[in-house]
Structure 1
Amino acid sequence: MNKKIQKIYIPMTETGFYILFCLQEEMHAYNITERVKEMTNDEIVISAGTMYTNLSKMEKDGLIQYTKETNSRKLYIITNLGQNILDIELKRIERLYKNSKGELYNGN
């Protein structure tokens, strides 16, 4: 695991989290935006500028990769590095949730 990349991305922004989470399936930016709106009941709406800035940075850092272009839309998917970062963040969020409910967290 690249510790420098881990320090950059963890803890994750909500935008970064949702982008990586969605890209466990191959998607393009508009699909991600719509999926996030659906998942959050329109509470989080990722603007085009924010989306493309994040996609570009995540691709440069190796968290996602471009797969192909369909109907003038670039499709991306999470990489192994991106999945590792997402898994760490999911465990961190789970720990926060359990601790907020007064449950002991044993890391499993």
Structure 2
Amino acid sequence: MSDRSMQEPTLLILTALADRPRHGYGLMQEIATISAGRYRMRTGTLYGALDRLLGQNLIAVDREEIADGRARRFYTLTGQGRAALTAEAERLRSVAAEAERRLRAPRPRLQGGAA
């Protein structure tokens, strides 16, 4: 990945895969949980993102299973995906720490009485 911040769908997918492999529907459920219901990924968005992440070698197919006559493909983080997620988590921590530092700093008084 580049030095740019991750798009939210990428961050959520990689986070959902950080602890164990998951299939598509499981990913959609986990993403809703991680985001406290704020983000509900649509099927088309998810599978488009999964294809892109596979192409970037951030995720890999872990295995395929047949459940109720349907194939389920499970995805897992690659080493590169884990490194990218680790870097993004550190970037977010750094930005959040700076925001908190600035919020705690005394606010200078503006001329003219505006606050």
Relative to the length of structure 2, the TM-score reads 0.79
Letter matched to residue 95 of structure 2: L
Higher CA-based Rg = 2
1:10–1:89 CA contact under 8 A, matched in 2: no
2:15 to 7, 10, 21: 21
CA RMSD of aligned residues (A): 1.4
CA apart distance, 1:60: 1.0
Equivalent residues in 2 for 1:1-108 (5 A)? 6-7=1-2, 10-24=4-18, 25-70=20-65, 71=67, 72-102=71-101
How far, CA to CA, are the matches of 2:54 and 2:24 in structure 1? Answer: 13
1:19–1:32 CA contact under 8 A, matched in 2: yes
Aligned length: 97
Aligned-pair identity in percent equals 22
How far, CA to CA, are the matches of 1:23 and 1:63 in structure 2? Answer: 11
CA apart distance, 1:15: 0.8
Structure 1 alignment gaps of length 5 or more: 1-5, 104-108
How far, CA to CA, are the matches of 2:4 and 2:24 in structure 1? Answer: 22
4+ residue runs over 6 A deviation: none
How far, CA to CA, are the matches of 1:20 and 1:10 in structure 2? Answer: 16
1:23–1:77 CA contact under 8 A, matched in 2: yes
Relative to the length of structure 1, the TM-score reads 0.84
